[in-house]
């Protein structure tokens, strides 16, 4: 039951994009089409879960025992950058179409603060490895839910009669704000 609560909390109550405001760059940048959003969500999920596992191991078995936990952030950034390179190589071979669709946004995962934020938050919450994995999975699902929902809304907005000054990014920010307020309604559901 504890793992279910961790996931529900990460997806709805503490959504990494809509309540913690981490990962906004890919949230806005990749949300024009649902297909691209789904691909980005999959890539972020893979990197977020693997990065959380690897950073947990590095934190608890290298940084803390040696007494250099102050190197946590730079170490985590290097791990995430390496994992993104791995994902890029895999996507290039397995799904060239998805690799082309993501284009410049794939390197955005390297600097996606949502991935770094989840890895650091898992350590700060003092979760064990299994709890950290569920924490990362929950946040990845939450990121994907927010991104795919937002991209669906943006696709529908292309068909709407929106005033010229509000088209594009301005209306996208308004919708993102409304989504954040909607997710704030889940506050108090899980501690």
pLDDT for the residue 140: 95
pLDDT in tens, 68-117: 999 999 999 998 998 888 878 888 888 888 777 666 667 777 778 899 99
- Please name the residue ranges forming H helices in 21-128: 24-29, 34-58, 64-66, 72-94, 96-102, 113-124
DSSP letter at 24 equals: H
Higher pLDDT, 1 or 155: 155
146 has a pLDDT exceeding 90: yes
Query: Are 16 and 92 in contact, with CB atoms under 8 Å apart?
Result: no
Q: Which of 16, 92, 1, 85 shows the shortest CA–CA distance to 50?
A: 85
Q: Which of 14, 15, 31 shows the shortest CA–CA distance to 150?
A: 31
Residues 6 or more apart whose Cβ sits within 8 Å of residue 70: none
How many angstroms separate the CA atoms of 92 and 110, rounded? 16
How is residue 157 written in tokens? 């907005």
pLDDT for the residue 48: 92
pLDDT in tens, 109-142: 777 889 999 999 999 999 999 999 999 999 999 9
Q: Own/partner pairs for 19-22, CB < 8 Å, 24+ apart? A: 19/180, 19/183, 19/184, 19/187, 20/114, 20/117, 22/113, 22/114, 22/117
pLDDT in tens, 158-182: 888 899 999 888 998 999 999 999 9
Query: Are 53 and 132 in contact, with CB atoms under 8 Å apart?
Result: yes
Residues 6 or more apart whose Cβ sits within 8 Å of residue 111: 25
Question: What pTM does this model have?
Answer: 0.87
């Amino acid at each position: 039951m504890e793992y279910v609560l961790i996931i529900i909390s990460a997806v709805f109550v503490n959504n990494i994009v809509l309540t913690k405001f981490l990962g906004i760059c890919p949230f806005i940048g990749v949300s024009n089409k649902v297909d691209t959003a789904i691909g980005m969500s999959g890539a972020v999920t893979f990197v977020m879960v693997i990065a959380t596992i690897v950073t947990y191991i590095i934190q608890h078995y290298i940084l803390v025992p040696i007494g250099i936990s102050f190197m946590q952030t730079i170490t985590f950034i290097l791990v995430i950058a390496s994992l993104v390179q791995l994902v890029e190589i895999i996507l290039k071979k397995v799904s060239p179409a998805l690799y082309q669709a993501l284009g410049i946004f794939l390197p955005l995962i390297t600097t996606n603060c949502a991935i770094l934020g989840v890895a650091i938050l898992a350590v700060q919450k003092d979760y064990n490895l299994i709890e950290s994995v569920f924490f990362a999975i929950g946040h990845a699902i939450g990121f994907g839910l927010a991104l795919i929902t937002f991209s669906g809304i943006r696709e529908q907005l292309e068909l709407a009669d929106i005033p010229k000054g509000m088209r594009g990014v301005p209306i996208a920010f308004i919708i993102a704000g409304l989504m954040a307020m909607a997710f704030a309604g889940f506050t108090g559901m899980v501690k």
